[in-house]
Structure 1
Amino acid sequence: MSSAADGGTTGDVTAAPAGVAAEREALDSRRASGTRAAWWSPWWVRVLIVYGLSRVVTTTILLILASVQGANPWTAARPGYFDFAAIWDGRWYNIVSIAGYPSALPVADGHVTENAWAFLPVYPGLVNAVQFVTRMPWQVAAVLVSVAFGAGAALLFHRLLIRLGFSSSTTLFAVVLFCVAPVSPLFQLAYAESLYIFLLTAALLLLVERRYGMLFPVVAIMAFTRPSGLAFALAVGLHVIYRFVVRRSQPFPVRERVLSVSLAVFSGIAGLAWPAIAGLVTGNLMAYTDTELAWRSVYIGWMHLVPFAPWFQGADWWFVNVLGLPSWLGILTVLIVIALFAVVLFSPAVRRLGVDVRFWLIAYSLYLLAVFFPQSSTFRLLMPLFPLLAVIALPKSRVYRIGMVQLFLALQVGWLLIAWGVDGADWTPP
């Protein structure tokens, strides 16, 4: 087993961690005493209750916002729920589902402009399949797919934390935070995040349990759902290196070495597959990258992607053009944020997530730092760092926990007001 400091399952994955053992003991005790458990006792029932109640709250907030929403590029004034839930990128996914991807990239002033290649095909394809079977309108099918996979993600998150050795109380409260998080409305909007978080949670659970063979199809689907395949490849690569280094104390059989190395290579190829497909179809090898850069051109103009430069470019733009502060202050802020996050990742509380989950947090953070430009969508792009919610859930004080739920709900309202509601020429996309 792993050390207590790491708090995860980095060795013998056949032994049940503390959380699983506690649930089994409670079940055995009830059976021995002949008492019948309440209907809400099973862990999955409690998770689904939490998820359902959180969705009721978020739906109420969205309906209130829809009732005051003015006419916008996607809907008339005061749209219904499903129309309101399918704006922004939801419309792009709808375009993909209807028209597919352009073979000729749209160009203006010599530069590639916004187009469907930025939106990967698994989510709109799945919505199309549901729509075909049920004959539902696209917006309704899209929301139902998101809600269903959000529920699945909550269930898998619970199992992941139990597998990592967190107590039942901490795990359930982490699920509560997961369901009411500031960007949790994405679980019921026409976005691919819900499906992606479900796949990512499944992938992390399989990685922790060393079930490499089952990871191949999950990684393949995940890479065509959201563009973070290279980040997962890096996480698997770090996992392989770690297992090789500690192989004397934690056996690393030849079969697992071959499978895990193959998985790392496969993940890397999967992460590059969509940009390669876009290049082959359009005849422009940089089609995908140029398409992504089109969205940041409204901030900093047209420029090439330089790895690890976007956050500093963003800091310069936000501090100089918006805040009226010196550029060097923005650069210093980015460096301080990076340093603080690095300290957090190696703190005792975060070490309880285990090495594998921390490898993912490191890999995805590096991926964000390398390629993404900080703007209002950044809040959504931080969603894959959700395992950190387990750390926030550690304190057992009732006052603390109630306060955190209230804070998260307030931030959820704030995110919807800033990023989802449309006010004229809106430059704060979710």
Structure 2
Amino acid sequence: MRLSAGTSARTTWWLVPLAIFALTRIVDVFVIAHAAHAQVPMDGSFGIHVEELKPAHPGYWAALSNWDGQWYETIARHGYPHVLPASGPVPQTAWAFYPLYPLIVRMVMLVTPLGFGPAASVVSMAFAAAGLALIYRVVLDRADRFAAAITVLGLCVFPSAPILQAAYTEGLALFGIALLIWCLTRRRYGEVFAVLLLLALTRPIVVVAAPVIVVHGWRHRHDSSPRQRWTLAGLTVASGALVLLWPAVTGLVTGRWDAYFATQRAWSNQLSLRSSYLGWFFGGADHETAVRAVLVLLVLLLTLVVPAARAWPLELRVWAMAYGLYLALTLRPTSSIERYMLLAAVPWLPLPALAPAGTQRWIRVVTMGVVAAVGIRMQVGWVDHFMIPTAGSLLPP
């Protein structure tokens, strides 16, 4: 039986996002490997947690497990500590890091001969690739292939996107976010709870799903059954409740109810709205910094409300807006902000507007080339300054 061209295209849609992801990961291999030549020895002398001592110029694979990757390696190899001080401050411990990612890496290490660095990279890239394929699919449901492809490209060349092949949770989290959007747009509510559980055990972001589910439910209030409406209400409540899942597990295992929050305070003594980006903005930012902050927020808002953004599903746009607000409310000023911004799951610019429907093919090809070139150039700077610890920069990604 022959397949028509249209049928073939529908069954092989995933080739485009996976090809974009693969090509950009190959480029980032060279970006990271080149930057690693400047890496200083990681021997604990800088007050940074080290599970495995690293010499200077450690090479590509070792560079993938820098910074938080060392904590995930500790968890993958040794698990979590069972004892914490019964009261008062606690030192930095593995309990600050969520369990699903290192557990999956541990399983890969058990069934393959891979060490931690390669195993972590395989896990990160596999989930990131799946997540980007889902984002491509949900955009393709609303727009043409160019809009879907340039959305994926924009994420793949985002300044902090090299983290998608490192020992960090961004790849797994991006997959969870994309799967949430995919399930909602297809109204597969039965699977959403499992996705929320995945997010709750990956990063402390599951609560961001609540406004997405609420807006989705409101949009479909006239064409959904009472059972579906009650299901969405339950999922909204679950989104809020599951944010306490990992802190509860931490408390039960260690016997200290505030173990997770006490561990977080080991990185910062100020965990409050006052210490967040929003509190910092209103409480002490100078005029120039305030203007920059307002401009960043306006760019995000405009990106999501301009007509070109309609290529992205409403649920994806609501996630991006809610996630940006979540960062403003909960995150203290940090060098990790660009890494966190990656999980907005949109490129932060309405890239489909650069070559709208009707634009000649060659213009679209050139547009994608320019976006890729600009993005990769920014990635080089991000990797040099944050991902690789050097004598001139010890700021974590």
> If the TM-score is normalised by the length of the shorter chain, which range does it land in?
0.7 to 0.9
Give the Å deviation of 1:359.
Answer: 2.0
> Which sections of structure 1, spanning at least 5 residues, go unmatched?
1-26, 32-36, 321-325
Give the Å deviation of 1:159.
Answer: 0.9
Give the Å deviation of 1:132.
Answer: 0.7
Give the Å deviation of 1:339.
Answer: 4.6
Q: 1: distance between equivalents of 2:274 and 2:317?
A: 21
Give the Å deviation of 1:256.
Answer: 0.8
Residue 393 of structure 1 is matched in structure 2 by: 352
Residue 22 of structure 2 is matched in structure 1 by: 52
Match of 1:292 among 264, 271, 279: 264
Residue 142 of structure 1 is matched in structure 2 by: 120
Matches within 5 A, 1:253-264: 253-264=225-236
Q: 2: distance between equivalents of 1:158 and 1:95?
A: 34
Residue 207 of structure 2 is matched in structure 1 by: 230
Q: Is the 8 A contact 1:312 1:334 kept in 2?
A: no
Residue 10 of structure 1 is matched in structure 2 by: none
Q: Secondary structure at the match of 1:278?
A: helix
Q: Is the 8 A contact 2:36 2:58 kept in 1?
A: yes
Residue 79 of structure 1 is matched in structure 2 by: 58
Q: 2: distance between equivalents of 1:373 and 1:278?
A: 23
Q: 1: distance between equivalents of 2:345 and 2:105?
A: 25
Matches within 5 A, 1:64-103: 64-73=34-43, 74-103=53-82
Paired residues in the alignment total 377
Q: Secondary structure at the match of 1:393?
A: helix
Q: Deviations over 1:22-79 (max 9, x none)?
A: xxxxx73578xxxxx89xx933223322222211111011111123323223510121
Give the Å deviation of 1:128.
Answer: 0.7
RMSD of aligned Cα (Å): 2.8
Residue 6 of structure 1 is matched in structure 2 by: none
Q: 2: distance between equivalents of 1:350 and 1:275?
A: 36
Q: Secondary structure at the match of 2:353?
A: coil
Q: Is the 8 A contact 1:278 1:288 kept in 2?
A: yes
Question: Larger Rg: 1 or 2?
Answer: 1
> Residues 136 and 395 of structure 1: is their aligned pair in 2 closer, same or farther, counting only changes over 3 Å?
same
Residue 111 of structure 2 is matched in structure 1 by: 133
Q: Deviations over 1:203-237 (max 9, x none)?
A: 11111111110111111112101110111123213
Q: 1: distance between equivalents of 2:289 and 2:350?
A: 29
TM-score by length of 1: 0.79
Residue 293 of structure 2 is matched in structure 1 by: 334
Give the Å deviation of 1:328.
Answer: 5.3
> Which sections of structure 2, spanning at least 5 residues, go unmatched?
44-52, 356-362
Matches within 5 A, 1:127-206: 127-163=105-141, 165-206=142-183
Residue 62 of structure 1 is matched in structure 2 by: 32
Residue 345 of structure 1 is matched in structure 2 by: 304
Q: Is the 8 A contact 1:170 1:390 kept in 2?
A: no
Q: 1: distance between equivalents of 2:64 and 2:86?
A: 29
TM-score by length of 2: 0.86
Residue identity opposite 1:310 in structure 2: S
Q: Is the 8 A contact 1:72 1:424 kept in 2?
A: no
Match of 1:380 among 328, 339, 348: 339
Q: Is 2:17 aligned against 1:28?
A: no
Identity of aligned residues (%): 31
Q: Deviations over 1:362-397 (max 9, x none)?
A: 221221111111221111111111234683133224
Residue 47 of structure 2 is matched in structure 1 by: none
Moved more, 379-388 or 328-337: 328-337
Q: Secondary structure at the match of 1:423?
A: coil
Q: Is 2:318 aligned against 1:359?
A: yes
